[in-house]
Structure 1
C-alpha cells in the first residue's frame, strides 16, 4: 500500500536561496509517516499509554535528487518495504508532480517502556502489511 500525503513548501521551510533546507525533508517524511499510521486507525498515543510501545527512527538513508522551492505543492509517499517482528522498513519519497526530489529508506524500531526493542503487536504488523 502506498500512502500519499500532500505538503506545501512555506517560506520557513527554505533557506536564503529559496530552496527547501535539507533537514526539512526529514520533517516532511516524519509527518507523512505519522499520517500513514493514523490513517490505518492506529493511535500512537494510546499505543504508548496502554502497551508502552513507541516507534523510533533507527536508520535513515537519504538521497537529495533535486531541490524543492518556495510554494511548491509536494506529495510525500510512504510504503512499507519490509516488516520484521520488531522493525518496519519504509521507502519514502518527496515528489513534485512526477519528479522525485528526495528519496529515503527509513528503519523504525518498535520500543517498549524500557526503550529496548519489542515485537510489533500482530494486528499492527498485519495492518502495515496490507
Structure 2
C-alpha cells in the first residue's frame, strides 16, 4: 500500500473554503503518479502508459482549507493489461473519500491496449529497487 499526503490550499477550494469535488480525483491521480516517482520513474515508460477506464467514487465528507489529507492506494487486481486500485482519502484518520479505479495499459502512440511491461509490473508490485 502506497501513502501520499497533500495539503489543501486556497486554489483547491471554493469561496467557503471547501474542497471542490473534482479535486479528490486529482489527489488520487497524484498518489498514483507518486508510486512511479518514488521509484525515480514516470507513469509513462517509453510509449507505454495508463488511461482511466472506469472510476467509481464515493464522497463521504468534506475537507477544507489548510487540512492535511492522506491518500492510500492499494492494488485490488493486477491483470495482463489492466490494474484496479482502491484509493481512500483520510482526514485525521477519518475516511472522507473512496474510489475504485480501473486503469488500462496502452501504447500511447498507437492508442491500443497492451500487456503491462515487466518494468511497470515490478514498480506496481513494489519490487523495483
- Normalised to the residue count of structure 1, the TM-score between the two structures is 0.89
Greater than 2 Å deviation, 4+ residue runs: 40-45
- The structure that is helix-richer by fraction is 1
Which residue is equivalent to 2:70? 75
Gaps of 5+ in 2: none
Gaps of 5+ in 1: none
Residues 105 and 116 of structure 2 are in contact (CA less than 8 Å); yes or no, is this contact kept in structure 1?
yes
Tell me, yes or no, if structure 1 residue 62 matches structure 2 residue 57.
yes
SS at match of 1:100: strand
Report the Cα distance in structure 2 between the residues aligned to 1:100 and 1:80, rounded to whole angstroms. Answer: 18
The number of aligned residues is: 125
Correspondent of 2:79 among 72, 78, 84: 84
Q: CA RMSD in A?
A: 1.4
- Normalised to the residue count of structure 2, the TM-score between the two structures is 0.89
Which residue is equivalent to 1:7? 6
Moved more, 114-123 or 62-71: 114-123
Which residue is equivalent to 1:124? 120
Report the Cα distance in structure 2 between the residues aligned to 1:127 and 1:14, rounded to whole angstroms. Answer: 33
Report the Cα distance in structure 2 between the residues aligned to 1:57 and 1:24, rounded to whole angstroms. Answer: 16
